[in-house]
Amino acid sequence: MKVQVLAVSQKTPDWVKTACDLYLKRLPSDWQLELKEVRPAPRQQGKTADQMKAQEGERLLAALKERTGYKIALDERGKTRTTMQLHQLLETQKMLTPEVTFVIGGPDGLAPEVRQACDMQLQLSAMTLPHSMVKVFLYEQIYRVAAIANNHPYHRE
């Protein structure tokens, strides 16, 4: 399965790269996971959060046009899923499309146009998470789903 994480991000801290690389190395060979980053809007005085989201949204939409598969926006207003439900969703999508893209917005979230361009909105947590932590959390969940798909005992119920 091919999974892409499309994120508004500028400079990923080393600890995030280290954590994400750990999960990348653990993924089964039939799973591909790649990160594509788009640069955030400059945080300037006089710009509203909506203006910055709109600017980032244009960049995300341009990158999403290159994606052909199922698109999932990570959004606080999205549906919650258990790990098993995420596994079932990705297994279903695996049969229907060659790839799945997860979209992570910038500090102010996602523009409405980006959410609308996605097939689903998913909430990772009801709590506010640091942007960098979202990547690590998502990579871990993708690894966990791959482990479930390959009957690996990593996931326990």
* Residues 24-45: tens digit of each pLDDT: 999 999 999 999 999 999 887 7
Structural domain contains residue 117: no
Look at the pTM and tell me if it is higher than 0.85. Answer: yes
Examine the pLDDT at 138 and tell me if it is beyond 70: yes
Q: Domain for residue 35, yes or no? A: yes
- The Cα 39–Cα 50 span in angstroms is 16
Residue 84 in domain: yes
Which domain, by its residues, includes 79? Answer: 8-41+51-111+138-157
What is the domain-level CATH number for residue 30? Answer: 3.40.1280.10
Task: Note whether residue 77 is domain-resident.
Answer: yes
- Do the beta carbons of residue 38 and residue 60 sit within 8 Å? yes
CA pair distance 123, 73, nearest whole angstrom:
9
Whether residue 128 is contained in a domain is answered as no
Domain assignment of residue 129, yes or no: no
Residue 52: which pLDDT band, with cuts at 50, 70 and 90?
very high
Whole-number pLDDT of residue 128: 84
Say if 146 falls within a structural domain: yes
What domain count does the chain have? 1
Quick one: pLDDT at residue 157?
A: 62
Distances 114 to 22, 74, 77, 105 between C-alpha atoms, Å: 29, 10, 13, 9
Residue 20 has pLDDT above 90, yes or no: yes
d(Cα 113, Cα 110) in Å, to the nearest integer?
8
**In this predicted model, what pLDDT tens digit does every residue of 90-107 receive, in sequence order?**
999 989 988 999 999 998
DSSP, collapsed to helix, strand or coil, labels residue 16 as: helix
The answer to whether residue 20 sits within a structural domain is: yes
